[in-house]
C-alpha cells in the first residue's frame, strides 16, 4: 500500500480564534504516516499558547512548531515552514481553515494512481468567522479542471483554493515560494510544480473549508495583490522561457472586461 510521509504545512499569524480548529482538523486526519509543520509569524495574541496546548493534547502526533522571533511576512514565513517539511507529499492550509475527515487519505490515493501526477486539489466550502457555511464554493468562481502542463492552470486562474492543494515535494523549486512575491506567492508555486509536463487534477467532493473574514489577505484587494499577480506572470514567463505567453494573454483578456465593468 502506498503510504508516503505527508507533511501538512500550516502558516498562521494572530489567529487565536481559529487555530485550534485548524490544527485539530489536521491532527485528526485518518492517515497513518503524517507530520504537521506549523509556522507562526510572531503572533501577538494567544495563538502560540493554543498551539502548545494542542501539542500537549496530541503527543503521539508528529508536530513541528516554528515560532518566528519577529514578523517575517507571508512568503518568508511560508518558506521557513516549508524548509521543515520532510514529506514526499505536502498539503497546505492556513491557520484559519479546516480540513475535513479523509482529505489526506483521498489525495494520497489520487497520487498513487499515476506517477505523472504532481498536484492535486479539490473543491472547498466557504465559511464565515463563526464557522457557518456561506453557500459558496471555490468551484463557483473557477471550475474544477485537470490537465498536463500549467497552460490551463494559467488561462483560467488557479482552480483550487490553497487549502485544497497537495503537491509532490520533489517538484518544488529550490526557492520554494518565490521571494519576489511577498504577499501572494502560492499561484507561482503551483505553476512551478506543474511546469510543462506535470499532471494536475482533483478529487471529487468537498474536503476542506476556507474561512472568509476581514483578516484575509485576499479579502483586501490592495495594489500589493495586483502587483504580485502581474509579477507572477513576469516571473513564470522568464522561468519557462516564454512558453506560457499565450496562456497569460488568455488570462488577462478574460479578466479585462470584468475590470472595466468595476470602474
- Residues 134-179 pLDDT 10s: 999 999 999 999 999 999 999 988 999 999 999 999 999 999 999 9
Does 224 fall in a domain?
A: yes
Pairing of strands 89-94, 166-168: antiparallel
Does 1 fall in a domain?
A: no
The SS3 of residue 155 is helix
Looking at residue 256, what is its pLDDT? 65
Does 85 fall in a domain?
A: yes
Q: What pTM was estimated for this model as a whole?
A: 0.93
Q: What is the C-alpha to C-alpha distance for residues 120 and 221, in angstroms, rounded to an integer?
A: 27
Does 194 fall in a domain?
A: yes
Does 131 fall in a domain?
A: yes
DSSP secondary structure string, 81-128? HHTT---SEEEEEETT-EEPTTHHHHHHHHHHT-TTEEEEEEEEEEE-
Looking at residue 216, what is its pLDDT? 57
Does 147 fall in a domain?
A: yes
pLDDT tens, 211-231?
Answer: 987 665 555 557 888 899 999
Instruction: Print pLDDT tens along the chain (263 aa).
Output: 789 999 999 999 999 999 999 999 999 999 999 999 999 999 999 999 999 999 999 999 999 999 999 999 999 999 999 999 999 999 999 999 999 999 999 999 999 999 999 999 999 999 999 999 999 999 999 999 999 999 999 998 899 999 999 999 999 999 999 999 999 999 999 999 999 999 999 999 999 999 987 665 555 557 888 899 999 999 999 999 999 999 999 999 887 665 444 44
Does 172 fall in a domain?
A: yes
Residue 168: count other Cβ atoms within 10 Å of its Cβ: 19
Range of the domain at 177: 6-261
Task: List the grid coordinates of 46.
Answer: 494567544
Q: What is the C-alpha to C-alpha distance for residues 228 and 68, in angstroms, rounded to an integer?
A: 24
Task: List the grid coordinates of 237.
Answer: 514567463
Q: What is the C-alpha to C-alpha distance for residues 192 and 190, in angstroms, rounded to an integer?
A: 5
Looking at residue 218, what is its pLDDT? 56
The SS3 of residue 237 is helix
Does 113 fall in a domain?
A: yes
DSSP state of 213: -
The enclosing domain of 95 has a CATH number of: 3.90.550.10
Q: How many domains does the chain have?
A: 1
User: Is residue 121 exposed (0-12), middle (13-18) or buried (19+ Cβ within 10 Å)?
Assistant: buried
Task: List the grid coordinates of 124.
Answer: 472547498
Looking at residue 221, what is its pLDDT? 54
Amino acid at each position: 500500500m502506498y503510504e508516503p510521509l505527508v507533511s501538512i504545512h500550516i502558516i498562521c499569524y494572530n489567529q487565536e480564534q481559529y487555530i485550534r480548529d485548524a490544527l485539530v482538523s489536521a491532527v485528526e486526519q485518518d492517515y497513518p504516516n503524517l507530520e504537521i509543520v506549523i509556522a507562526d509569524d510572531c503572533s501577538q495574541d494567544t495563538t502560540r499558547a493554543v498551539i502548545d496546548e494542542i501539542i500537549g493534547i496530541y503527543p503521539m502526533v508528529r508536530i513541528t512548531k516554528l515560532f518566528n522571533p519577529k514578523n517575517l511576512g507571508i512568503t518568508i514565513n511560508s518558506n521557513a515552514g516549508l524548509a521543515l517539511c520532510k514529506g514526499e507529499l505536502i498539503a497546505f492550509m492556513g491557520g484559519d481553515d479546516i480540513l475535513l475527515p479523509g482529505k489526506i487519505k483521498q489525495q494520497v490515493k489520487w497520487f498513487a494512481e499515476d506517477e505523472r501526477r504532481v498536484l492535486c486539489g479539490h473543491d472547498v466550502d466557504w465559511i464565515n468567522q463563526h464557522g457557518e457555511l456561506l453557500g459558496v464554493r471555490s468551484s463557483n468562481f473557477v471550475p474544477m479542471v485537470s490537465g498536463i502542463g500549467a497552460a490551463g492552470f494559467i488561462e483560467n486562474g488557479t482552480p483550487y483554493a490553497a487549502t485544497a492543494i497537495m503537491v509532490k515535494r520533489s517538484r518544488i523549486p529550490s526557492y520554494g515560494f518565490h521571494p519576489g512575491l511577498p504577499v501572494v506567492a502560492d499561484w507561482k508555486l503551483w505553476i512551478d510544480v506543474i511546469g510543462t509536463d506535470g499532471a494536475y487534477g482533483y478529487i471529487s467532493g468537498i474536503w476542506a473549508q476556507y474561512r472568509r473574514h476581514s483578516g484575509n489577505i485576499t479579502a483586501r484587494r490592495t495594489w500589493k495583490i495586483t502587483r504580485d499577480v502581474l509579477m507572477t506572470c513576469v516571473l513564470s514567463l522568464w522561468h519557462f522561457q516564454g512558453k506560457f505567453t499565450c496562456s497569460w494573454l488568455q488570462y488577462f483578456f478574460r479578466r479585462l472586461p470584468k475590470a472595466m465593468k468595476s470602474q
